[in-house]
Amino acid sequence: MTFANWTGIAGGLALFLYGIRVMGDGLRNLAGAKLKVVLEKLTRNRFLGALIGFLVTAVIQSSNATTSMTVGFVDAGLMAFTRASGVIIGANVGTTVTGLLIALKIDPIAPIVAFVGVSAIVFFKNKNVNNFGGVIAGFGILFIGMTLMKGNMAPLANEPAFTNMLMSFEHKFLLAILVGALFTAVVQSVSASVGILQAMATAGAITGIGQVVYLILGMNIGSCVTAVVTSIGGTKDAKRTAAIHVLFNVFAAILFVITWKLLPMESWISALSPHMKTQIAYFNFFEKLAAAILIFPFLPLIEKLARVIIPGEDKNKSKALVHIKSSDFATLSVAIAQAQNEVARMYDLSHRNLALACKLLTQEKAPSHGDMSAIEKNEETIDYLNHAITDALIKITAAGPGLAPSDARVVDRMHHVICDYERIGDHADNIAGYVRHIREQGLDFSGGAREDLIELTQKVLDFVVSAQAFFDGKTEFTIDDIERMEESVDGDVDRIQEQHIRRMEKGNCTPEIGMLFVEILTDLERVADHALNVAQAATR
C-alpha cells in the first residue's frame, strides 16, 4: 500500500459519505414535514410502528435520522415510549437497504447518474426538481466514491498483516465486534461502514463472508451512538428509547454469534450470490430481519428491561426548558416538535394562573399564601419561557436554511403566541395583585359587583380555552365564531362598567374599590384580546 492508495481511499470514503448525505437530504426535503407526521401519528401499535420505521429509514437512507427523530419525539412527549420501540426495530431493518443498493452493478454509469443529478440542481429553480436532483446526484457520487475506494483497496489483498487480521476476526468474534462498533461510532453511519466492507470485497481484500460477519454485528452496535447522544439530557423515556436501540443490536449480535457457530450459514449466504459484495449486503439484511422477527414478540419484556436500566421518573422542573435541547437543532423536525411542546407548556401555565387568579378574585375568603406563591412562581416561569423559547426559535430558523414553508409557518406562529401567553400571564398576575391589596385593605365588592365578576371571569376563561382549541385545530369553531365571542366579551365589559357606574352613583361602592373594579375589568378585557390574537395566529 502506497501513500497514494491511502489518500485515494480517504477521498473515496469522503465521496461515499457525502453521497449518502446528499441523497438522504434530498429525500428528506422531498418528504418535507410529512416525515414528522408519519412518525408522530402513524405509530398506533408496535407492528405498525416497525413498518413505518422500516419504510421511513429505507426512504431517507439513514437509521440515525429515524432513531434520533424517534428519541426526540419521545423526549417531547409526542410519542409514547411503547410506540417508539417498534419504530426503532423497523429502522434497524430499513438501514440495510443502502447495502442492497450498493450491491447493484451501476459503477460504469455512476458518473452519468451524478451528472444528471447535478444538472437538475444547477439548471432548474424548482425546489422539488432540485431535491430530486440531489437524490440522483448523491446516488451517483456514492458509487463514484465506491469505485475510488475499491480501486485503491486492491493492494490490501496482498498485505499479509491485513489478511491475517481478517482471518483472526473469523475466530476472535469479541475483538471483531469491538472493532466494528468503534469504527461505526467514529464514522457515524452503519451504511457507510458496511459499504466500506463491500468496497474491500470488490477489491478482493475480503475473500470469505466469515471474515466480516462479526465486524458487521459490531458495526450495527456502533450505530447506536447517535441515538444515545441524542437522548443525553432528555427525559427518562427518551433514554429508554435509546436503550432499546442498543439492546436490540446487542441481542441480535448474541443471537447471530451463536447461530453462525451452530448452523451452516456461510454456505447458505454463499449460495445466494457468488459476489462477496452482494453476500455482505444479504447477510446484513437477513441478520436484521431475522433478529426483528425473533425479538419483536418480546418487545414488552425489552421495554421492561429498559425501565430497569433507566429507573425512576423525571423530576418536575419549573424555571427551565423541559423539552428543548440545544443538540436537537440539527434535526429540525424534532426541534420544532419540542418547541411546540414547550409553547403548549407555556399556555398551560398562563391559563392555570388566570384560572387561579379569577378563583381568588371571586371567592369571599382570603387567598392562601400557597395560592399566591404558586401564581408568583408560575409567572416567573412564564417570563423565563418567553425569552428561552424565543431564543430557541431563532436558533431553529438559523439552523435550517432549507426549512420547509409549512415548518416556517409553524415557527412564525409560535413567535406570535408566546408573546400573547406572556401578556395573559401578566394580566393574571395583575388580578392576583389586586386581590392581595383588597384583602390587605379590608375592602370588598358589593353583591352585584361580585356577581358580575363571577359571570365575566367564567366567560373570559371559556373564551381563552376556545381560542386555544382553535389554534390547536381541535374545535369546529371558525375564526368568525371566535371573533364574535371576543366581541361578546367586550360588550359584557361595557355593560358591567355601566352597571358599576350606577352602583357608585347610588353609593353602593366606595371610590377605592370602584377604581380597582375598573382595573380588573380592563385586565380581563385585555386577556380576551390576547386570546383572540392566539386564535388569529392559526390563520397566518
Contact 242, 252 (CB under 8 A): no
**Residue at 252 is within a domain:** yes
Q: Measure CA 187 to chain center.
A: 22
Q: What is the pLDDT of residue 33?
A: 54
Same domain, 30 and 151: yes
* Residue-number span of the structural domain to which 9 is assigned: 3-309
Domain boundary residue, one of 276, 309, 342: 309
> Do 398 and 464 fall within a single domain?
yes
Q: Are residues 22 and 55 in the same domain?
A: yes
68 close to 327: Cβ distance less than 8 angstroms: no
12-33 confidence digits (pLDDT tens): 878 877 887 787 677 666 665 5
320 falls within a domain: no
Q: Are residues 334 and 470 in the same domain?
A: yes
Q: In total, how many domains does the chain have?
A: 2
Do 268 and 371 belong to one domain?
no
Contact (Cβ atoms closer than 8 angstroms) between residue 317 and residue 345: no
Residue 435 corresponds to which cell in the numbers above? 386581590
Looking at the fold, whether 297 and 367 belong to one and the same domain comes out as no
Residue 422 domain-assigned (yes or no): yes
31 and 165 inside one domain: yes
pLDDT at 125: 80
Establish if 321 belongs to a structural domain: no
pTM of the predicted model, to two decimals? 0.62
84 and 186 within one domain: yes
39-43, 291-295, 465-469: which has the minimum mean pLDDT?
Answer: 39-43
Query: Is residue 315 one of the residues assigned to a domain?
Result: no
- The closest of 347, 321, 485, 483 to 416, measured between CA atoms, is 347
CA distance from start to end of the chain: 62
Count of beta carbons in the 10 Å neighbourhood of residue 409 = 14
Domain contains 242: yes
Q: How confident is the model at residue 324 (pLDDT cuts 50, 70, 90)?
A: low
- Do residue 441 and residue 366 come from a single domain? yes
* Residue 329 scores a pLDDT above 60: no
pLDDT in tens, 156-206: 666 677 667 767 777 788 888 888 888 888 777 787 788 888 888 887 778
* Domain stops at, among 283, 309, 335: 309
Take residue 166 and report the three cell numbers written for it: 481478517
- Report the Cα 142 to chain-centroid distance in Å: 27
Question: Would you state the pLDDT for residue 10?
Answer: 85
| 362 touches 450 (CB < 8 A) | yes
Same domain, 295 and 331: no
Among 436, 428, 403, CA closest to 346: 428
Inside any domain, residue 508: yes
Q: Are residues 372 and 239 in the same domain?
A: no
Residue 40, pLDDT > 70, answer no
* pLDDT in the model for residue 293: 92
pLDDT digits (tens, 9 = 90+) for 389-421: 888 888 888 765 566 777 888 889 999 999 999
pLDDT tens track for 421-463: 999 999 999 999 988 888 888 888 887 888 888 999 999 999 9
Q: Of 259, 279, 309, which residue sits at a domain end?
A: 309
pLDDT at 32: 55
Q: Is residue 315 pLDDT above 90, yes or no?
A: no
User: Residue 352's pLDDT is what?
Assistant: 93
Residues 408 and 497 in one domain: yes
The CATH number of residue 397's host domain is 1.20.58.220
Q: Under DSSP, is residue 319 helix (H, G, I), strand (E, B) or coil?
A: coil
Model pLDDT for residues 194-223, shown as the tens digit of each residue: 888 888 888 777 878 888 888 899 988 988
- 3-state class (DSSP) for residue 288: helix
Q: Are 220 and 292 in contact (CB under 8 A)?
A: no
Query: For residue 314, is it within any domain?
Result: no
